[in-house]
C-alpha cells in the first residue's frame, strides 16, 4: 500500500510540474515535446544556406548509409508533419526540409512559389548536401505536387515516388475545400486566429493524433504569422497543374489517398493512374488528408513493402 501511495504521489507531483511548466512557459514546453517526437525518429534539426542566399532548415536521420528518402510537407505545414511516421522509417536516411516559405526556412516575399520553382530550389539543396545517388521521394498534398514536378524535371535522380493525397490534379472532381475556395474566395486552410487554426486541424484529418491544446496554440501562432504569405503561395500552387508534366512519367509510384479527404478529392487517383506509367494505388478507409499523421505505422509499412518489391 505504501508503494502504491508513493507512486500516486509521484504521479501527482509530475502532473503538477507539467501543468506548471505549461502555464509558465507554453512555448518552451511545446518545443520540448516536438524535440521528443523528433528524437523517437532519430531526427536532428540542421540548417544550410544555399549559394542563392536562401536558407533551408531540415531534419535528417543518422542512417546515412541507407537509401535516402526525402519527405516533403504540404501547404501550411512544416517538416514535423512526418515525425509521426519517422520511427517506422528508420530503414532509410531521412531528409525532411521545410519548404522555402514555410516553417523555419527562408520566406522571401515576393517570390516564385510554384512547384517548379520549389523543385529547382530542392535540387540546389540536394546538390549542396552531396546527395550523389538516386533518392526516394515522398510528398504530402502540396509536397506531392512538388515531388511529381521534381521527378518530371530530374527523372534520372528519383528512384520512386510516395504520393500522399498530392495536389496539382485540378481536373479531378472538386473537394469540399476547393468548392468553398471557389464559391467564397476564402481559403479554409489558412488561419488568422487560434480558433480558425483548430478548424483547419479538424478539416485536414479524420483521425488526428492527440495534440495538447497548448501545442495547437503554439502551432497556430506560426500559421497566423505566415497568413499573408500563405495567401500568395496558395494562389500560385492552385494555378499550377501537374497533369501535363507527369504524363508518361515512368517513375515507380505509390499513390496513397485517404477516402475521407475533404481537401483534395480521392477521385484524383483515377486521373493519375491514367497519366502515369507505373502507379500502385492504396485508398485508406476512414482516413482524411494526412495519412502519415492519421495512420503513420500503416502508411510507413505500406511504403517499405512497396520499395522492397521494387528491389526484388
Question: Which sequence positions are flagged as catalytic?
Answer: 73, 141
Residue-wise burial string across 77-108, b where 16 or more C-beta atoms lie within 10 A, e elsewhere: bbbbbbbbbbbbbbebbbbbbbbbbbbbbbbe
Q: How far apart are CA 166 and CA 257, in angstroms?
A: 8
What pairs with residue 282 in β-bridges?
256
Give me the half-sphere count of Cα atoms (radius 13 Å) on the Cβ side of residue 46: 15
Query: DSSP labels for 126-164?
Result: HHHTT--S-EEEEEETHHHHHHHHHHHH-GGGEEEEEEE
Q: Assess contact for 85 and 296: CB atoms under 8 A.
A: yes
Which grid cell sits at 68?
A: 535516402
Residue from 166, 2, 172 nearest 71 by CA = 166
Q: Are 164 and 292 in contact (CB under 8 A)?
A: yes
Amino acid at each position: 500500500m505504501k508503494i502504491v501511495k508513493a507512486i500516486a504521489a509521484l504521479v501527482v507531483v509530475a502532473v503538477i510540474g507539467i501543468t506548471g511548466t505549461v502555464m509558465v512557459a507554453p512555448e518552451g514546453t511545446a518545443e520540448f515535446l516536438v524535440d521528443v517526437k523528433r528524437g523517437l525518429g532519430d531526427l536532428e534539426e540542421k540548417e544550410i544556406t544555399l549559394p542563392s542566399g536562401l536558407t533551408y532548415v531540415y531534419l535528417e536521420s543518422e542512417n546515412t548509409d541507407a537509401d535516402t528518402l526525402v519527405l516533403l510537407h504540404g501547404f501550411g505545414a512544416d517538416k514535423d508533419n512526418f515525425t509521426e511516421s519517422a520511427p517506422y522509417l528508420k530503414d532509410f536516411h531521412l531528409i525532411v526540409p521545410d519548404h522555402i516559405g514555410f516553417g523555419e526556412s527562408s520566406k522571401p516575399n515576393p517570390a516564385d512559389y510554384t512547384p517548379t520553382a520549389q523543385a529547382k530550389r530542392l535540387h540546389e539543396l540536394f546538390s549542396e548536401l552531396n546527395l550523389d545517388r538516386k533518392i526516394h521521394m515522398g510528398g504530402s498534398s502540396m509536397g506531392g505536387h512538388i515531388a511529381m514536378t521534381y521527378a518530371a524535371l530530374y527523372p534520372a535522380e528519383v528512384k520512386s515516388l510516395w504520393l500522399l493525397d498530392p495536389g496539382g490534379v485540378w481536373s479531378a472532381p472538386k473537394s469540399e475545400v476547393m468548392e468553398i475556395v471557389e464559391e467564397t474566395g476564402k481559403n479554409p486552410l489558412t488561419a488568422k486566429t487560434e480558433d480558425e487554426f483548430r478548424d483547419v486541424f479538424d478539416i485536414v484529418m479524420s483521425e488526428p493524433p492527440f495534440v495538447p491544446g497548448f501545442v495547437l496554440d503554439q502551432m497556430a501562432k506560426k500559421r497566423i504569422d505566415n497568413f499573408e504569405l500563405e495567401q500568395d503561395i496558395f494562389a500560385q500552387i492552385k494555378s499550377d497543374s501537374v497533369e501535363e508534366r507527369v504524363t508518361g512519367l515512368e517513375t515507380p509510384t505509390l499513390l496513397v489517398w485517404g477516402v475521407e479527404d475533404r481537401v483534395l478529392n480521392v477521385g484524383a487517383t483515377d486521373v493519375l493512374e491514367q497519366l502515369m506509367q507505373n502507379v500502385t494505388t492504396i485508398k485508406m478507409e476512414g482516413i482524411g488528408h494526412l495519412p502519415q499523421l492519421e495512420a503513420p505505422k500503416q502508411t510507413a509499412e505500406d511504403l517499405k513493402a512497396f520499395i522492397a518489391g521494387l528491389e526484388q
